[in-house]
Amino acid sequence: MKSLTEKCLEITSLFEAELLVRLMLYHWNHPFAGDEDFANGLLEGASGALRSASQGEQLIKNIPTTSFNLVAAVWYVEYCEVEKEETTCEDTEARKIWLSNVRKALPSCFCDPSDLPQT
């Protein structure tokens, strides 16, 4: 049976994954939301992160490599890019706010799914 990470990796080539990335950027007011190349690069980076997680690389504490999801992968890629920036500018601060807002809005994407209440 495929892990959640493997399933998420499979959908990164679908239009729906592109749509999700765009909606995440617009809904939480990312400063580069209107930049098509940025959005495409973010999705490509998320695909790479999912690939790494599927090979056992731990990317975010508290998320098992088999439960790494597309939302967390998008967030992780942007987090890594922001952390690499040597200077802080207005866009950097806006990107940090976006990162915080996504994490606050979707906390279930950033934990071990087995920690979530079962219905």
The structural domains of the chain, with segments of one domain joined by +, span: 4-113
Does position 89 have pLDDT exceeding 90, yes or no? no
Does residue 115 surpass a pLDDT of 80?
no
Q: State the virtual CA torsion across 22, 24, 26, 32 in degrees, nearest 10.
A: -70
The pTM score is 0.94
What pLDDT score was predicted for residue 112? 87
Q: What is the mean pLDDT of the chain?
A: 94
User: What integer pLDDT is reported at residue 63 of this predicted model?
Assistant: 96
Measured N-to-C along each axis, helices 4-11 and 70-84 cross at an angle, to the nearest 10 degrees, of: 80
Question: For 50-74, what is each residue's pLDDT tens digit?
Answer: 999 999 999 999 999 999 999 999 9
Higher local confidence (pLDDT), 49 or 86: 49
